[in-house]
């Protein structure tokens, strides 16, 4: 998509997905995602849900951190409806590396290619605009769908944190996966 045809506020886009800065108007989507406990577990985040005040405060803080980039992903074909988010964090400018995470807001959108589009756009931004040479992420070892996607995009397993995440009465392994900009 050309710069001229991007909708206002969209920083990066392909033909389907656009990434823009997170806004307070996105709060209801984040609240729904963070309180969908199945999605929250996949994020290795809040296990018991969150309040609207917590989400509002997080949005305010998310755009103020110098070493973090947070984006709302919107479906450009569906009236720019928010469908997920992406974040880059722990950015180390000296080493030119950082970590990423992403999630869809609705489990009904899983399997539609949105996650791959979001991640590719985020990587493009981090490599071309921020200058990162290495991008890493963490994923639950039993999240096979995500692992297949990450491998398809060039991530490789660099390590395993055994019994790192506790959920539903048991401990789960977490994989550390990374990819270099030049692949």
Distance from C-alpha of 179 to C-alpha of 158, rounded to nearest angstrom:
9
C-alpha of 153 from chain center: 14
106 closest CA partner among 34, 172, 162: 34
Count of domains forming the chain: 1
For 51-104, the pLDDT digits (tens) are: 899 889 988 888 787 788 999 999 988 778 899 999 999 999 999 999 999 988
Decide if 119 contacts 101 (C-beta within 8 A).
no
Residue 54: give its domain's CATH number. 3.40.630.30
| Whole-angstrom distance, CA of residue 120 vs CA of residue 149 | 11
Residue numbers of the domain that contains 21: 3-180
pLDDT digits (tens, 9 = 90+) for 10-55: 888 888 899 999 999 999 988 888 887 777 677 766 667 788 998 8
Strand partners, 81: 75
Global pTM exceeds 0.85: yes
Residue length, the chain?
Answer: 183
Six-digit token string for 105: 């807001």
């Amino acid at each position: 998509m050309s710069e001229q045809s991007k909708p206002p506020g969209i920083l990066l886009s392909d033909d389907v997905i656009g990434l823009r800065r997170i806004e307070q108007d996105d709060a209801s989507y984040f609240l729904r995602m963070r309180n969908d406990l199945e999605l929250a577990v996949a994020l290795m985040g809040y296990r018991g849900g969150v309040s609207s005040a917590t989400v509002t405060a997080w949005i305010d803080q998310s755009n103020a951190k110098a070493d973090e980039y947070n984006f709302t992903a919107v479906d450009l074909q569906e009236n720019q409806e928010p469908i997920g988010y992406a974040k880059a964090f722990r950015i180390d400018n000296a080493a030119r590396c950082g970590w990423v995470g992403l999630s869809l807001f609705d489990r009904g959108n899983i399997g539609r290619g949105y996650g791959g589009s979001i991640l590719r756009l985020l990587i493009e931004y981090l490599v071309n605009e921020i200058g990162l040479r290495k991008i890493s992420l963490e994923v639950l070892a039993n999240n096979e769908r995500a692992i297949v996607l990450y491998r398809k995009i060039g991530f490789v397993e660099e390590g395993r944190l055994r019994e790192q995440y506790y959920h539903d009465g048991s401990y789960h392994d977490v994989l550390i996966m990374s990819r270099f900009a030049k692949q």
